[in-house]
Amino acid sequence: KAGVTQTPRYLIKTRGQQVTLSCSPISGHRSVSWYQQTPGQGLQFLFEYFSETQRNKGNFPGRFSGRQFSNSRSEMNVSTLELGDSALYLCASSWEDRDTDTQYFGPGTRLTVL
């Protein structure tokens, strides 16, 4: 069974640009969550999608957005990039609920903003 895949694995952007990251969950999983990991702030929850609906949202500015498609694949978008957005962006999927079903993480997308 294939794990969670994220594309691209590495990305370099400049300030002011926007970026879209993609996540393909484990087959059958309907919940997809996104996290930001930085040395300074650690792991922080961005948002969770379930059946194409945002179910939960972390404390990030509106520049961070996401969506989920009918096949459960998810994308997150960051507009007007700032230097502080440089981070490892992790996607995780679970069957339905992240607190009752095991949440599986992808390898992440390393975003560097210059």
Binding site for other proteins (CB under 8 A): 4, 42-45, 48, 55-59, 90, 92, 97-100, 102-108
Residue 24 Cβ, how far from other proteins at the closest point, in Å?
14
Question: How many CA atoms does the CB half-sphere of 60 hold within 13 Å?
Answer: 25
Residue 15 Cβ, how far from other proteins at the closest point, in Å?
26
Residue 77 Cβ, how far from other proteins at the closest point, in Å?
19
Tokens of 3: 């794990």
- For other proteins, the closer CB: 15 or 57: 57
Count of other CB atoms within 10 angstroms of residue 84:
10
Q: Which of 53, 57, 64 is nearest to 89 (CA)?
A: 64
Residue 14 Cβ, how far from other proteins at the closest point, in Å?
25
- For other proteins, the closer CB: 12 or 15: 12
- For other proteins, the closer CB: 58 or 67: 58
User: Can you name the residues that pair with 49 across neighbouring β-strands?
Assistant: 32, 54
- For other proteins, the closer CB: 6 or 72: 6
Handedness of CA 43, 66, 110, 103 (dihedral sign): positive
The three-point CA angle 49-67-74 to 5° equals 75
